Amino acid sequence: MFDRIITVDWSANSTPKTGKDSIWIADLEVKSSAIRSRNISTRASAVDLLADVSSGSGRVLVGVDFSLGYPEGTAQALQLTGVPWAAMWELLSASIDDDDRNANNRFEVASSLNERMSPGPGPFWGCHPSRATDFLTTTKVPSEPLGEWRTIEAQLRRQGRRPFSSWQLLGAGAVGSQSLLGIAALSRLAERLRRGGRSVDVWPFTSGLDVPSADVVVVEIWPTLIGLDEVPSGQPERRVRDERQVVAAVRHLAAIDQGAAFTPDVPGAARSAVIAEEGWVFGA
């Protein structure tokens, strides 16, 4: 189905960084089964790399480890018009400033979004004390009237998993900051690819819960479901966990029944929200 598979461990670092808790990208050429992993110090450089490896011939699957959507009703709470996911992506693309050295305004944007959605702090939460405002707190606050979890996260929790909420911006394992910055970056990437003549699907938003047909297909992954790339017996472990995760993830995406992964059994009542606003974890 795909000629190249790429997995991305994203980062919300505010300065260039490599090693643990930075951006790692694994790139698998399906025909040869060759895998290359790379450690990228900035989000701008990561977008450049993704644009480069996705611009050639053949079909490319790109899996990113952050939420591509928000709980149902988010776009309405922000008084956005149009298709909810696309309106949210457009808003974040226009609001997020993220320079080539990773300096960014994600906390300011989260505070501004909170102010538009509720009379007090929330639903976004989590920041350093110096970045706190009347609308963004350092500690957890209720997400009401919006839900804390998307449909996929609620399902994973019922299975005993512990995903993080898209609203949480800070803390070990938190995905909120990565999503704010990642969605803005993916918007720029998709625009670059389309200008270069490549079609782009963001599953399940643009294709529904069906197999996409575009040249480049972006999906959300959760590496915790997959595990780590194994270390051969008797060999010392020198790779950081992040690299092992993206390598395991790219192997996993190549091995699974991709057609089945693109057509998950989503509860009927939730399908419209999943497609229009929330998204889904590929392969869950």
**C-alpha to C-alpha distance for 210 and 203, rounded to whole angstroms:** 8
Mean pLDDT, residues 202-221:
98
- Encode pLDDT of 134-150 as tens digits: 999 999 999 998 999 99
Cβ neighbours around 98 below 10 Å, total = 22
* Tokens coding 59: 């079909």
pLDDT in tens, 219-244: 999 998 888 776 554 444 567 999 99
For the stretch 97-120, pLDDT in tens is 999 999 999 999 999 999 999 988
For residue 109, what are its two tokens?
Answer: 């944007």
What are the distances in angstroms from CA 241 to CA 114, 223, 258, 279? 34, 11, 25, 26
Other C-beta atoms within 10 Å of 247: how many? 21
Strands 23-29 and 34-40: antiparallel
pTM: 0.95
Cβ-based neighbour number of residue 72 at 10 Å: 19
List beta partners, residue 63.
7, 219
List CB contacts of 100: < 8 A, sequence separation 6 or more. 42, 44, 45
Per-residue pLDDT reduced to its tens digit, 48-103: 999 999 998 899 999 999 999 999 999 999 999 999 999 999 999 999 999 999 99
Residue 43 to residue 205: CA distance in whole angstroms: 23
Domains of the chain: 4-67+177-278 (3.30.420)
Q: What is the mean pLDDT of residues 158-169?
A: 95
Residue matched to tokens 């670059």: 192
State how far Cα 208 lies from the chain centre: 18
